[in-house]
Amino acid sequence: MTIATVLLAATLAAAANPFPTSGPYVKAPALGIHIGRLQPGRYDAITDVAGVRVGQVTHISGTGNLVPGVGPVRTGVTAILPRTDVWHRKVFAAAWALNGNGEMTGTNWVNEAGWMEVPVVLTDTLSVGRVDDGVISWYLKQYKSIGIEDDVPLPVVAECDDQFLNDQEGRHNTAEDAVAALDAAVGGPVAQGGVGGGTGMMSFEFKGGIGTASRVLPAAEGGYTVGVLVNTNTARRDQLMIDGAPVGANIKDLLPRAPRPGNGSIIIVIATDAPLLHDQLERVAKRAALGLARTGATAMTGSGDLVIAFSTANVVPHYPEARTFQVTVLDQYHINPVFDATEDATEESVINALLAGTTMTGRDGDTAYGLPHDRLLQILHRYGH
């Protein structure tokens, strides 16, 4: 039986307890893991940046040996909307590749224009075209003049390869799934781990997938919020560091029975309400690599390590009649706390994906094991946490 579930980001239970110690909403702080000096936002999620919404569709069906084009299926779609009506109220944005063996469509125009007018959608590698088509369909439904009297969108769709657990040949993420994820996008808590675009992903040879975190700057540093969402499908077990402790080197079992093809990938999406322009957001995107590096991950030749950052502070108008428009810009000499927040939230997002990732068996009986919380806490205690 096929499960095609639109995962709403907010539930009453999660809203009442946004920092549980297990389940799809688990967060590092609930286990005593505190990354950096800054505090998380209310949900410790990318949706702590006002107006940002997340919607997810998850496909889990079938067991046993791979039947190419049929299953088993372990995949999905995650959509991040920067704001309501980003088409007419564009956001400054920048994309950057730490290592480019991956795809994030539409980013040539993002970097050329300096702004973004579409959501960011995450999926598996071979479904990029179908999901891209779905984003266009969603836009045509929202804006009737597109392609007639108005311009046409270039969707931003980013991929990771989930073939270790999933039947990639089946391209089970469809245009309809992209529409459903966008329609379902809401604020509040964001489900993590093996959900949405992260359903079939592995990280550090544990179960990986979607992870998110946020940091809020104190008022004296601007009071801005930085939120990060990752789809982590990268790195080797022996590389894993959590809050400075060599966790991977101390958990040598619970490994997949066969090596995963390629070097894996990670997609990092950064949102902030700090008033930043394109060049500043590119600098912010590069700082995400420092947060990733703290987890032990490295950008290998076969990995697609792609970052996109956007700011909701200003509105870039859609074909204005006026020749100029006004923006507010953070001075470069006051941007360092935003860098700190980005690095910390990226590091914690990867950790949160691992904490939320529960053991999953996919095609050919291959299993990605969840990171055992009890053993993690023992290791952290051993190293002085």
Q: Is 349 a catalytic residue?
A: no
Residue 47 in tokens: 């949706």
Helix (H, G, I), strand (E, B) or coil at 87: coil
C-beta separation of 189 from 42 below 8 A = no
- Phi/psi at 113 (nearest 5 deg)? -80, -35
Rounded alpha-carbon distances, angstroms, from residue 94 to 38, 48, 52, 100, 238: 24, 20, 17, 15, 32
Q: Which of 127, 203, 214, 303 is catalytic?
A: 303
Comparing CA positions, the residue from 28, 30, 100 lying closest to residue 355 is: 28
Does 303 qualify as catalytic in the annotation?
Answer: yes
Active site residue 265: yes
Which DSSP symbol is given to 378? Answer: H
The tokens 């950052």 sit on which residue?
A: 309
* Annotated catalytic residue, options 161, 305, 340, 366: 305
Length reported for the chain: 385
Distance (Å, whole) CA 8 – CA 190: 8
C-alpha distances in angstroms, 24 versus 11, 131, 196, 332? 11, 24, 12, 37
Distances (CA, A) of 237 to 92, 109, 250, 290: 37, 36, 9, 19
* Interatomic CA distance for residues 148 and 322, integer angstroms: 23
**Residue of 214, 265, 311, 349 with catalytic role:** 265
Kindly list the catalytic residues. 265, 303, 305
